[in-house]
Amino acid sequence: MSNAMKRPYRNLHVPLRPESYETLISECRRSGRPATQVAREAIEWWIELKERLDRERSLAGYVEKVAGTAHDLDPALERAGIELMLARQPKRRRHPK
């Protein structure tokens, strides 16, 4: 089975500003890669970044919404975390007077 049959692609016509086009073509020449491959990777990178930012915004909204409620951090777990952090701090040396 050919790769095209396994992963069908959809085409997209993307008009670019001349400066963007020249930068893309220069990068393709420099790297020896086709413009389609570079453009596809850039678009896929942007989609992944947008999805990650959307998840972070959603999580931040949830955290803000539940802050100080029963859904906030468990008090016993919070105490244990603080105790662990304090136990890992280096001991301060006392300087003789």
pLDDT tens string 43-95: 999 999 999 999 999 999 998 998 888 788 788 888 999 999 999 887 776 66
What global pTM score does this model have? Answer: 0.60
Residues 6+ apart with CB under 8 A from 34: 28
Task: Determine the structural domain holding residue 19 and report its residue range.
Answer: 15-87
Whether 7 is in a domain gets the answer: no
Whether 64 is in a domain gets the answer: yes
Query: What gap in Å lies between CA 64 and CA 66, rounded to an integer?
Result: 6
For 7, which DSSP code? S
Give the pLDDT confidence score for residue 47 in this predicted structure: 97
Structural domain total, the chain: 1
Whether 27 is in a domain gets the answer: yes
